[in-house]
Structure 1
Amino acid sequence: MSNHENTARLLPDVAVHAQPHLAGALDWVGMADIQVPVHFDAGDGDTQRTSAKVGAFVNLRRPDKRGIHMSRLYLQVEQTLSSQPLTAALLKNLLRGFLDSHGDLSDRACVSIKFDHLVRRPALRSNNSGWRSYPVSIEASLTNDEFLLELGTEVVYSSTCPASAALSRQLIQDQFARDFSADVSVDRSAVLAWLGSEQGMVATPHAQRSVACLRVRPSHDNGFRLIELIDRVEQSLGTPVQTAVKREDEQAFALANGGNLMFCEDAARRIQNALDADEGLRDFHIRVEHQESLHPHDAVAYASKGVAGGYGAVP
């Protein structure tokens, strides 16, 4: 017998010793924030390698067993995710490996993966472009043969308040009435000059950076269509935040905000309608948050597809 085999044989393993006074089944046992590289294709054919944090868990259904084999979960995560592109099939096989390595200890497994994905976005008017970082979360679970997969991300956009816009327009009208007497004919050039002056914009509506948090469940395995999802949501809102911005881009952004006034309810419904039209999604959950500039609390709305047994709109 080699020295290595002799040492391994003598290593103590206290996890095999049951503690009858602490017996009980556990919902989930495992590890969070495992650091590992992943390979991810967002749907454009460009597979990016990035650093991820992974959670790996199984249930412990045997009340007489003290613990699970965490090192087995870790090694499977490291060997699988660091060497192959992420796919639904890969994650299902990984979860099946979790259960196979735990014999009669577990009958449920789950994995969560979080990382950021860079997408190049064009400017609104100029010929420039820049990178946007989108957070990605992937969660998968396996119970017997029931496999569930979820993709999550966030879209940041600008929201201009419709009520504030209406109040601002009223103040501009009032200022116009004061500056131009009703009994004097109005000169077009004078009005144009007034509109381009500070007097012509005595009030502006408030706008704020806003966030749409998305969770979707694909209806079938056709890859992680992250960019398609982002494009669909950003187009429905009309005012996603920009990267490279020249003056012509900023002016175009101001125009987009003026043409897309929205309360948080409006934003949630826009996204809801856009995702309802996507036949590739079995279900989805939306949370929009308008981080108000008017007051210190935020305006929030939730929406979902509403399928039976799907997401509940619980804050």
Structure 2
Amino acid sequence: MNSLTIHEQRLPDVATSDAAHIRTTLDWVGMSEIALPFRLLDADRGEIACQGRAQAYVNICRPDVKGIHMSRLYLLLEAFAEQQLLTPRSLSDFLADKLATHREISDSACLALRFDLYLRRPALKSDHQGWKAYPVELLARLQQGRTQLELKLSIPYSSTCPCSASLSRQLLDQAMQREFGDGDSIDKAQLSRWLLSEQGSFATPHSQRSYAHLRIRLAPQQAFPLQALIERVEACLQTPVQTAVKREDEQEFARLNGHNLMFCEDAARRIKRTLDSMVPVEDFWLKVEHQESLHAHNAVAIATKGVAAGFKVELGG
């Protein structure tokens, strides 16, 4: 009888001991949808506690190798998330450590994190505030000895159609002409009462919730500029969606929309100019999507920074 216990016996590992039946390389092998709490360093907010889902991969560059050590990737990721603050530098070091666990079969590694960044936003006029969640994806690749960091952000905002606003003003003018005739003078008090009545809302322009979807390639730095990116984009658009809203806040939101009429082309140009001015941004791809209340389809504009060997002007996100 074998005196070795089950823990002392060498357990078989066919994934790495057997040769591949079909001899070919594989671009990425690993795991997705890994539940992961972690701490991220933001350039403005400092340390932020996050919860997200991770994908961890290495490649197989030897065609004879059957598989990878998935448990090594998982345990290394768990230890990294628990013990270290997520920064561009620590993320680069983690990819190097991950690649070292598969140095015999791999020459590339990547990590993708998907999470919501929560920012507390004040109301426009009142003293209230509330939380807003911004979907974020962080992708890090180590290939040919170089780490590349990419961020994906989605930022919601409101857009009011300039064409619809113009047509609404024309209808309001026609209604006012019918109400007050062709006289040389109009009683201001009477005009004010008419404008404040339901008749004053003769026509309204269409507005819709809209989204700026961004892909950002980051230059090397000490922390992630997540809050700065969001705030700069919201500031250039000037109509971010709100959290806590009282009547004075809603009125101010209506004023902001009225003073910032924009087609999707206008929004894309505002964002492009803003990203062009940000030093941490090496390259970008942006897509603005106005989810029309007039049409059954969306209005879209896409732009890139236009650097050599950078993001292509592709239609997908």
TM-score class normalised by the smaller sequence: over 0.9
- Quote the Cα distance in structure 1 between the aligned partners of 2:251 and 2:110: 47
TM-aligned CA deviation for residue 46 of structure 1: 4.2
- Quote the Cα distance in structure 2 between the aligned partners of 1:45 and 1:254: 30
Letter in 2 for 1:241: V
TM-score normalised by structure 1 residue count: 0.95
Letter in 1 for 2:43: G
Match of 2:5 in 1: 3
Letter in 1 for 2:203: A
Letter in 2 for 1:19: A
Match of 1:123 in 2: 123
Alignment of 1:260-271 (within 5 A): 260-271=260-271
Alignment of 1:3-82 (within 5 A): 3=5, 5-7=7-9, 9=10, 11-15=11-15, 16-20=17-21, 22-82=22-82
- Quote the Cα distance in structure 1 between the aligned partners of 2:73 and 2:59: 12
Letter in 1 for 2:19: A
Alignment of 1:1-315 (within 5 A): 3=5, 5-7=7-9, 9=10, 11-15=11-15, 16-20=17-21, 22-183=22-183, 185-315=185-315
> Are the equivalent residues in 1 in contact too, given 2:45–2:227 (CA < 8 A)?
no
- Quote the Cα distance in structure 2 between the aligned partners of 1:184 and 1:34: 73
Which region of structure 1 is more displaced relative to structure 2, 230-239 or 67-76? 67-76
Residue 3 of structure 1 aligns to a residue in which SS? coil
- Quote the Cα distance in structure 2 between the aligned partners of 1:85 and 1:296: 45
- Quote the Cα distance in structure 1 between the aligned partners of 2:203 and 2:111: 51
The count of residues paired between Structure 1 and Structure 2 equals: 312
TM-aligned CA deviation for residue 157 of structure 1: 0.5
TM-aligned CA deviation for residue 5 of structure 1: 4.5
> Are the equivalent residues in 1 in contact too, given 2:29–2:59 (CA < 8 A)?
yes
- Quote the Cα distance in structure 2 between the aligned partners of 1:127 and 1:312: 44
Letter in 2 for 1:127: D
- Quote the Cα distance in structure 2 between the aligned partners of 1:188 and 1:221: 60
TM-aligned CA deviation for residue 183 of structure 1: 3.3
- Quote the Cα distance in structure 2 between the aligned partners of 1:42 and 1:90: 13
- Quote the Cα distance in structure 1 between the aligned partners of 2:183 and 2:80: 80
Letter in 2 for 1:18: A
Q: Which runs of 5+ in 1 are unaligned?
A: none
> Are the equivalent residues in 1 in contact too, given 2:89–2:222 (CA < 8 A)?
no
Determine what percentage of the aligned residue pairs are the same residue.
49
TM-aligned CA deviation for residue 50 of structure 1: 2.4
> In 2 relative to 1, CA 19–217 (structure 1 residues): closer, same or farther, beyond 3 Å?
closer
TM-aligned CA deviation for residue 165 of structure 1: 0.5
> Are the equivalent residues in 2 in contact too, given 1:304–1:311 (CA < 8 A)?
yes
Which region of structure 1 is more displaced relative to structure 2, 193-202 or 109-118? 193-202
TM-aligned CA deviation for residue 285 of structure 1: 1.4
Which region of structure 1 is more displaced relative to structure 2, 61-70 or 182-191? 182-191
- Quote the Cα distance in structure 2 between the aligned partners of 1:185 and 1:149: 65
Residue 66 of structure 1 aligns to a residue in which SS? coil
Residue 177 of structure 1 aligns to a residue in which SS? helix
> Are the equivalent residues in 2 in contact too, given 1:36–1:82 (CA < 8 A)?
no
Which region of structure 1 is more displaced relative to structure 2, 152-161 or 216-225? 216-225
- Quote the Cα distance in structure 1 between the aligned partners of 2:107 and 2:174: 70
- Quote the Cα distance in structure 2 between the aligned partners of 1:162 and 1:115: 35
> Are the equivalent residues in 2 in contact too, given 1:59–1:109 (CA < 8 A)?
yes
Letter in 1 for 2:12: P
Listed one character per residue, the Cα deviations across residues 86-138 of structure 1 (whole Å, up to 9, x for unaligned) are: 10111111111121111221111111011112111111111111111111211
Residue 83 of structure 2 aligns to a residue in which SS? coil
